[in-house]
Amino acid sequence: MKSTMFVLGGLIVVCLSVALFLRSHPRRQNDMNSLMVIVPYKYEGMWVFDDPAVGLNKEPFIAGIDTLIDKATADIPHAERGFRAIFSAMPFPGAKFKLEWRREDSGGNWYYSPEFQQEGWLCPALFKYFTSTPREIYVKVEPRGSERSTNR
């Protein structure tokens, strides 16, 4: 009887420890999803995006990434009103662009776009989506929901 109570007590302690650990160490978004989505738009002439799930509001794209967005969205009507950007550290069907890591700088990271032969800097907000610096980021840009053409 004592040994059963001892084992049961030990299991309860282990379960409580695991529960407390999981509660105090929430999973990051990329631990749950390999594809992430943001909706960049222009605000005061700058590309920005909001993502309340990770605490970002009007987070700007600067230092070359803004120019890459201009080029990548050139064929999306009214992209400045918002477009969908799907991205991942792994290749996925439909990804049209790849960013290749070059170097760390000022807490962010410089990436190179072979499609546009240009570099751009991604700020530390990158770590809201990735637990470590991805060597490559694959991106698909497309019009938002109602603006997409459908073949019905």
Render pLDDT for 6-21 as a digit per residue (tens, 0 to 9): 444 444 444 334 333 3
| Confidence at residue 3, expressed as pLDDT on a 0 to 100 scale | 53
Q: Is residue 20 part of a domain?
A: no
| Confidence at residue 12, expressed as pLDDT on a 0 to 100 scale | 46
**C-alpha span between 141 and 152 (Å, rounded):** 22
| Confidence at residue 97, expressed as pLDDT on a 0 to 100 scale | 95
The total number of structural domains that make up the chain: 1
Q: Is residue 23 part of a domain?
A: no
| Confidence at residue 13, expressed as pLDDT on a 0 to 100 scale | 41
Instruction: Calculate mean pLDDT across residues 86-94.
Output: 94
Q: Could you write out the DSSP letters of every residue in 108-131?
A: EEEEEETTTTEEEEE-GGGGGT-S
| Confidence at residue 143, expressed as pLDDT on a 0 to 100 scale | 95
Q: Is residue 72 part of a domain?
A: yes
Q: Is residue 94 part of a domain?
A: yes
Q: Is residue 7 part of a domain?
A: no
**C-alpha span between 90 and 98 (Å, rounded):** 10
Confidence band, pLDDT 50/70/90 cuts, at residue 146? low
Q: What is the pLDDT of residues 20-74, one digit of tens each?
A: 333 333 434 444 458 999 999 999 999 999 999 889 889 998 998 999 999 999 9
| Confidence at residue 150, expressed as pLDDT on a 0 to 100 scale | 41
| Confidence at residue 145, expressed as pLDDT on a 0 to 100 scale | 79
Q: Is residue 3 part of a domain?
A: no
Query: Which residue segment(s) compose the domain that 107 sits in?
Result: 29-146
Q: Is residue 16 part of a domain?
A: no
Q: What is the pLDDT of residues 95-134, one digit of tens each?
A: 999 999 999 999 999 999 999 999 999 989 999 999 999 9
pLDDT surpassing 60 at residue 151 = no
Q: Is residue 6 part of a domain?
A: no
State which amino acid sits at residue 25: H
